Amino acid sequence: MKTKPLVNRFHEVELYARLVSPTRLAALEATGLLNGNADGVLDRVARMVTRLLGVPISLVSLVSSANQHFPGLSGLTGSAGDARATPLSHSYCQHVVMRDAAIVIDDAARDPIAAANAAHTELGIAAYIGVPLRTSQGETLGSLCAVNTTPTHWTTQHLETLEELASMAMAEIELRSTSRALLLSNRRLAEQVVRDPLTGLLNRTGFGVQATAAVAAARRSDTPFLICVLNLNGFHQINATYGYDAGDATLVEVAALLAGTFREADLIAHSGADEFVALIANASESDIPYVTARMAASFDVHNASRHGEFVLDASTGFAEWRPDAPLSVNTLLQRAESNMRASREFV
Predicted confidence (pLDDT) per residue in 325-334, tens digit: 888 899 999 9
Predicted confidence (pLDDT) per residue in 257-309, tens digit: 999 899 989 999 998 889 999 999 999 999 999 999 999 998 888 888 776 67
Instruction: Classify domain 204-343 at the CATH superfamily level.
Output: Reverse transcriptase/Diguanylate cyclase domain (3.30.70.270)
Rg of the chain taking only CA atoms, in angstroms:
31
Residue among 196, 222, 223 nearest 207 (CA): 196
* 68 and 94 Cβ atoms separated by less than 8 Å: yes
**Mean of the per-residue pLDDT values for the chain?**
89
Q: How many CA atoms lie within 13 A of 100 on its CB side?
A: 14
Residue among 132, 43, 148, 47 nearest 93 (CA): 132
Instruction: Give how far Cα 197 sits from Cα of 49, 201, 277, Å.
Output: 50, 8, 16
Q: What is the pTM of this model?
A: 0.59
Task: Parse the chain into domains and list their residue ranges.
Answer: 6-188, 204-343
The helix/strand/coil state of 219 is helix
Q: CA-CA distance, 68 to 86, in Å (whole number)?
A: 6
Q: Is the C-alpha dihedral spanning 78, 84, 86, 88 positive or negative?
A: positive
Instruction: Classify domain 6-188 at the CATH superfamily level.
Output: GAF domain (3.30.450.40)
Position 307 scores a pLDDT of 66
Residue among 208, 201, 220, 207 nearest 282 (CA): 220
